[in-house]
Amino acid sequence: MYPDRVVSGMRPTGPMHLGHYHGALQNWVRMQAQQPCLFFVADWHALTTHYDDPSIIERATWDMLVDWLAAGVDPSQATLFIQSRVPEHAELHLLLSMATPLGWLERVPTYKDQIDNLAGRDLSTYGFLGYPLLQAADVLIYRASEVPVGEDQLPHIEMMRELARRFNHLYGKEIGFEEKAAAAVKRLGGKRAKLYMEWRQAYQQDGNADALEQARAMLDDAQSLTNIDRERLFGYLEGSRKLILVEPQAKLSSASRLPGLDGRKMSKSYGNAIGLREDKDSVTKKVRTMPTDPARVRRSDPGDPARCPVFQLHEVYSDAATREWAVQGCTSAGIGCIECKQPVIDAIVAEQQPMHERAQPYLDDPTLVRAIVADGCDRARKLAQETMRDVREAVGLGYL
């Protein structure tokens, strides 16, 4: 009933690294060619933890947008925007907050973890507790069907599904819905009206999913219906509720987690990251000084790739033949570590080359990025406003 829209966001927390590329951006680039995608900078979310340091957000926002463009996110395919430029997200957040039990927020596992992890900050704030609720608004406002996220975000997606369900349950009942739906069925015309009622019954009484599909296809084709009647009939098929918000699905990225320079997950806070647009010399130096199998002290000692963080990078960056060469050379002491690292360096540099090229025009002329975002904000805002009209009406604030 709603298009297969994809929505995802990232907090602007500084320059992106290759872990972000392999973990998320590659996935975005893949999805943008297949479905309508909205990608946004979650600047309000950045404020939930860094509210005491407003100096970094703006810079980090523009840098991150250049990183996205460098990675291949394409503004002619996807909509790129900044969360705070679409204030409807805040309105939906507020309206959702009215009926969100506090316990739902307190129970989100990331909530207590983060408070412990970021012990240096005072996070006993209302904004931080509401983090997943704002995230729910970000997605629900576009009636998105899919949300590409990392595994750590699954509890947030689960909560937004519960919120959508609860919202539809509380507010999805239009006054006089049954009568209006019955009138819409009549307007389908005799034969189709009869089929519709049969299919509805087959679905509701016997759970016949085919019948549901057929009925939906017919509604999609029924030219004579107004949009609002079509919506009603979609809702009437499944029960007697109107779907106002859509339950989205998490879409986990298929990419493996990129190891950092020390073999742990690549992360800025571990100091083991390679920047998305880091220059070649610096990449070369970082990989050359990476730790290797600690048991391989001298060049003549054989090593064990399973104990070596460099080999983990081979697993991401090298083809089977190169990996085989590394294993052979390492375990027989046939190659030295510097030699073994070279194909990894070359592969990383080759991966970054097109990113540097794509970033250059935006570095030369930052107004290009601003124009892309201005356009994206307009497009996103139109979609958000459509949903908000229905939401306001549903909660009794239609004033029409």
Interface with ligand TRP by CB under 6 A: which residues?
7-11, 42, 45, 135, 138-139, 147, 149, 153
Stretch near ligand SF4 under the rule CB under 6 A, chosen from 124-132, 273-281, 300-308, 383-391: 300-308
Say how far apart CA 261 and CA 291 lie, in whole Å. Answer: 8
Rounded to a whole number of angstroms, the minimum distance from the CB of residue 93 to ligand TRP is 11
Rounded to a whole number of angstroms, the minimum distance from the CB of residue 261 to ligand SF4 is 12
DSSP labels, 245-280: S---EEEE--SPPPB-TTSSBP-GGGT---BTT--H
- Residue among 10 and 237 whose Cβ is closer to ligand TRP: 10
What CA–CA distances, in Å, run from 316 to 15, 323, 328? 22, 10, 18
Say how far apart CA 338 and CA 303 lie, in whole Å. Answer: 13
- What, of ligand TRP, ligand SF4, none, does residue 42 touch, CB below 5 to 8 Å by kind? ligand TRP
| Backbone Cα Rg of the chain | 26
Convert residues 323-362 into a mask of x (bound to ligand SF4 by CB under 6 A) and - (unbound).
---x---x----x-x--xx---------------------
Rounded to a whole number of angstroms, the minimum distance from the CB of residue 378 to ligand TRP is 20
- Residue among 201 and 249 whose Cβ is closer to ligand TRP: 249
- What, of ligand TRP, ligand SF4, none, does residue 139 touch, CB below 5 to 8 Å by kind? ligand TRP
- Residue among 294 and 366 whose Cβ is closer to ligand SF4: 294
**305 counts as binding ligand SF4 under rule CB under 6 A:** yes
Q: Parallel, antiparallel, or unpaired: how do β-strands 37-41 and 146-149 relate?
A: unpaired
Region 238-297 residues binding ligand SF4, contact defined as CB under 6 A: 292-293, 296
Rounded to a whole number of angstroms, the minimum distance from the CB of residue 117 to ligand TRP is 13
- Amino acid sitting at position 298: R
Rounded to a whole number of angstroms, the minimum distance from the CB of residue 289 to ligand SF4 is 12
Strand partners, 79: 38
Contacts of 107 (CB under 8 A, 6+ apart): none
- Amino acid sitting at position 89: H
Nearest in space to 21 (alpha carbons), one of 97, 86, 73, 87: 73
Residue 243 three-state SS: coil
Say how far apart CA 324 and CA 328 lie, in whole Å. Answer: 6
Contacts of 11 (CB under 8 A, 6+ apart): 41, 42, 43, 45, 46
Say how far apart CA 114 and CA 387 lie, in whole Å. Answer: 32
- Residue among 184 and 250 whose Cβ is closer to ligand TRP: 250
- Residue among 153 and 267 whose Cβ is closer to ligand TRP: 153
| Among positions 303, 348, 372, 388, the unique one binding ligand SF4 when judged by CB under 6 A | 303
Say how far apart CA 254 and CA 150 lie, in whole Å. Answer: 10
- What, of ligand SF4, ligand TRP, none, does residue 296 touch, CB below 5 to 8 Å by kind? ligand SF4
Rounded to a whole number of angstroms, the minimum distance from the CB of residue 203 to ligand TRP is 31
- Residue among 24 and 308 whose Cβ is closer to ligand SF4: 308
Residue with tokens 């957040």: 93
| Among positions 42, 308, 355, 372, the unique one binding ligand SF4 when judged by CB under 6 A | 308
Dihedrals phi, psi of 220, to nearest 5 degrees: -60, -35
Region 143-172 residues binding ligand SF4, contact defined as CB under 6 A: none
Nearest in space to 39 (alpha carbons), one of 20, 18, 17, 19: 20
Tokens of 373: 């975002």
- What, of ligand TRP, ligand SF4, none, does residue 153 touch, CB below 5 to 8 Å by kind? ligand TRP
Cβ–Cβ under 8 Å, residues 315 and 323: yes
- Residue among 292 and 387 whose Cβ is closer to ligand SF4: 292
- Residue among 228 and 295 whose Cβ is closer to ligand SF4: 295
- Residue among 208 and 322 whose Cβ is closer to ligand SF4: 322
Residue 212 three-state SS: helix
- Residue among 117 and 332 whose Cβ is closer to ligand SF4: 332
Rounded to a whole number of angstroms, the minimum distance from the CB of residue 245 to ligand TRP is 14
Q: Parallel, antiparallel, or unpaired: how do β-strands 79-82 and 6-10 relate?
A: unpaired
Residues near ligand SF4, by CB under 6 A = 292-293, 296, 303, 305, 308, 310-311, 326, 330, 335, 337, 340-341
